[in-house]
């Protein structure tokens, strides 16, 4: 198992402030979707990022392969709605605070 930074890059810089009703519905479904992997212990954290330059969000996800990440992306409501692009980066040497790992 490896840990990855899973990133959702919104398709416009001010996305968080200017979402349409359809985009808000997609993002609400996106948050709900990530509760599943989180409850399974596959996600350490997921959150929007308050970056003044561009709207994006992250999850720190454990996976056995990039194929697992591709499956997460394929079923992610944000991806399906086309509100942005999704990529991931391997975290080669993650250090998890023991209290968080046990939570």
CATH number, domain with residue 37: 3.30.70.1060
User: How would residue 99 be classed by pLDDT, with cut points 50, 70 and 90?
Assistant: low
What domain count does the chain have?
Answer: 1
Query: What is the pTM for the complete model shown?
Result: 0.86
User: How would residue 96 be classed by pLDDT, with cut points 50, 70 and 90?
Assistant: confident
User: How would residue 101 be classed by pLDDT, with cut points 50, 70 and 90?
Assistant: low
Domain with 83, as residue range(s), is 2-102
pLDDT, tens digit, for every residue of 47-71? 999 999 999 999 999 999 999 999 9
- Residues 91 and 20: their CA atoms lie apart, in Å, by 33
Give 74-78's long-range contacts (Cβ < 8 A, gap of 24+): 75/33, 76/8, 76/30, 76/33, 77/26, 77/27, 77/29, 77/30, 77/32, 77/33, 78/8, 78/26, 78/27, 78/29, 78/30
Whether the pLDDT of residue 39 is over 90: the answer is yes
């Amino acid at each position: 198992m490896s840990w990855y930074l899973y990133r959702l890059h919104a398709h416009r810089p001010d996305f968080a402030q200017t979402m349409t009703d359809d985009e808000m519905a997609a993002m609400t479904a996106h948050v709900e979707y990530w509760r599943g992997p989180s409850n399974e212990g596959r996600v350490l954290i997921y959150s929007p990022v308050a970056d003044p330059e561009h709207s994006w969000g992250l999850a720190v996800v454990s996976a056995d392969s990039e194929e697992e990440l591709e499956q997460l992306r394929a079923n992610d409501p944000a991806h399906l709605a086309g509100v942005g692009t999704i990529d991931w980066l391997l975290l080669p040497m993650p250090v998890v605070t023991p209290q968080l790992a046990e939570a």
